[in-house]
Amino acid sequence: MIDFEALYSISYGLYIVCSGDKTKGNGFISNTVFQVTAEPARFAACCNKDNYSAQFIQKSGIFSVSVLHKDTSPDIFGRFGYKSGKDFDKMEGMQIRYGETGVPIVLNDAIAFLECKVVQTFDVGTHLLFIGELVQSEVLNDALEPITYLYYRQIKKGVAPKNAPTYVDKSKLEKTATGSAFKKFKCTACGYIYDEAKEGKKFADLPDDWVCPICGSEKEDFIEV
Ligand SMILES: Cc1cc2nc3c(=O)[nH]c(=O)nc-3n(C[C@H](O)[C@H](O)[C@H](O)COP(=O)(O)O)c2cc1C
């Protein structure tokens, strides 16, 4: 038997993984970055084959990791975690620094960054697991705490989309409540659920300029579920 709730007890952080060069870069939100060896310091980053970013990492052989803090703007999750660079330039308007290898590093809401050169790539089915050797790293802000995936899910009420390795189909977890006066509304961009019962407020009563707390999408982008 597989209890999908058990998978939530694995801990992760949340990062923007970027790749490319000074002419063109792209990045995605990842919760699957972790250190695999100390000497030399090497890190794994797991990237869905369908992510636009996968092409950048494969082509350039480098990636950066921006470590996000607990109060990271929902726009950052919206831009890098729910939208693809295939559709627009994600780096436009962002604060970017270029690493020693020329890889773009997103500084918005970053409290530290790593820059890694790919030394091995493993095909793990739906995803590619890149192993990168550390070239450079720096703390940018030691006053703020890094965000964990648990905090993102429980406090920010965030969800991971299908391309995330840790995506869990909600139907495997929840039984649908019936006969309740309260309704649930789902953000069509990021999947966030506004639950009237939990929030104590009808969705219709939210102000018109209310936006999704996870990805910044507007009220009209929600559907009743
Ligand atoms: C909380 C969260 C965690 C995610 N973790 C991963 C991950 O570890 N690996 C991955 O490939 N995608 C992950 N994703 C999904 C990608 O960020 C998303 O598919 C993104 O739009 C890909 O952008 P791109 O096509 O521009 O590369 C995650 C998204 C969120 C919101």
**76 in contact with ligand 1, CB cutoff 6 A:** no
Q: What is the pLDDT of residues 166-225, one digit of tens each?
A: 887 766 665 444 456 889 998 878 888 999 998 989 999 999 999 998 888 889 888 888
* Chain segment 19-41, per-residue pLDDT in tens: 999 999 999 999 999 999 999 99
* 17 close to ligand 1 (CB < 6 Angstrom): no
Q: What is the pLDDT of residues 30-71, one digit of tens each?
A: 999 999 999 999 999 999 999 999 999 999 999 999 999 999
Instruction: Give the DSSP letter string of 90-153.
Output: TTTTS-EEE-TTS-EEE-TTEEEEEEEEEEEEEE-SSEEEEEEEEEEEEES-SSSPBPBHHHHH
Q: Ligand 1: does its nearest atom lie under 6 Å from the Cβ of 52? A: yes
Structure tokens at 188: 């069509």
Ligand 1 centroid from CA 80, angstroms: 7
CA 198 to centroid of ligand 1, rounded, Å:
27
